[in-house]
Chain A
C-alpha cells in the first residue's frame, strides 16, 4: 500500500508505488513477449495448411475410430495383464532399491553427510530426470524388446521418486521419539526399527501405492518403444491405421487407470 500526495495535498491511496507498478507491468510485458517469440518459433516449424485441416482430420479420425472393434479385446487381456505386472514388479523392485537409498540420503540417518549423501542425491536426481520411456528406449537396446526392459525402466524411474519422497519423510520425523528410544540404551539398528520406521510407515505405504498408480499409466505406453505391455498392441494397430482397434485399447486403458486410481485412493485414505 502506498500513499502519494496529490498536488492539492490530499492523500492518494494506491495499491503499489509507481515504481512497483512499472515493475509488475514490465514483468507481464516480458512474459507475454517471451511467449509470443516462442510461439513464432513453433509456428515457423509448423505446416499451417495441415493445421487448418485439423477439424476435418479430427472428424475423420473420430469417424474411423468408432465403433470400437470389441472383438479385438479378446487378444488384449494377456498384454493388459503384462502391463499390470510390469507396473507392479517394477514398483516392487523400485521399493527394494529405493528404501536403502532413502536412508542413505536422509541427513539424519545417512552414514556420511560428506561422501555418501551427495552421491545418493545425484543417483536420485538422475533417476528422476529421465522419463521412463527414455529408460525403456535405452533398455530395449541393451536387453532386447520385451517385458524385462519395461520392468527395469519402470523400476529405474521409480527409484528416484520413492527415495526422494521417503527421505523427505525421514527428515521430517519427530525427533523426541528417537531421543526416547536412544535413552533406553538402544543400538542404532534398534533406533531405526523402533523410532524411525514406525513413523514413516504410513508415508511409505501411501507413496508406494501412489507410485504404483502412476506406473500403471506409464506402463500402458512403454510398448511404444518395444518394452512390452498393451502399448505394443497400440503401436501395431496405429502402424496399420486400425483405428477401431486403437479405440478398444484406449477404452481398456481408461478402465484400468480408473480402477487403479480408485484403488490407490482407497489405500492411501486407509493408511494416512
Chain B
C-alpha cells in the first residue's frame, strides 16, 4: 500500500504544445507528478535522467515516432507505456501494441479516462498474494513478483506479469479476451481485444520455449486463452 501514497511520476512525450500543456494541467490536477518532453529524443534523454513510473507517449512525433520510442524503451526497460493514438488509424493501434505498449488512449483524450488507465496500469505492479506456482520450467513467485524460467529471471512488464498472474490463478481454465481485459486492463465492456492478443504474443515470446508453437499459453478458439502446465 505504501506505493499508493507515493505520488506517481509520469513522463509525457507529446509534440503539440497545446495538448502537452493541457494534459500536464489535467494530469497534475489528478495528482500525478508530470515531466514533459516535446520530442522522442528529448523524452528518451529525460527517461535516462529521472526514472518515471510510467510513460504517456504520443504516436505522431517529429523525428523518431512513438512506435520507435516505444521499441527503444522496451529494449532495456519494462516500464509501463500508454500510447496516445488517433483512432482513425486502426493500424496505429496494432503497430503500437506490437512495439510493446501496455495500453492506448484515443484522441481526443478525456483526462479522466487517461487517469483511469494510468492508475490501472500502475496497479498491475502491486503484489497481492504470497504463493508461488510452477508450470514446467516456469516458476511464478507471487510474493516477489518475479517469474523465472529454468532459474533465470524473466523481464516482464507489469501488464505481462499481471496477465500471467491472472492466467496462472485459473490454470487449465479458458479466459475470454473480455474477461482478461476486465481483470488485467480494467477496461469497460468495450475493451479492445487486440490489447490481449498483443500482450499474449509478447508474453509468449518471453515464457515459451518456441513462441510460435506455444505449450503454456494456449489459444482456445472462439473463447480466449488458457494457461496449461506442459504434459
User: Does B bind A?
Assistant: no
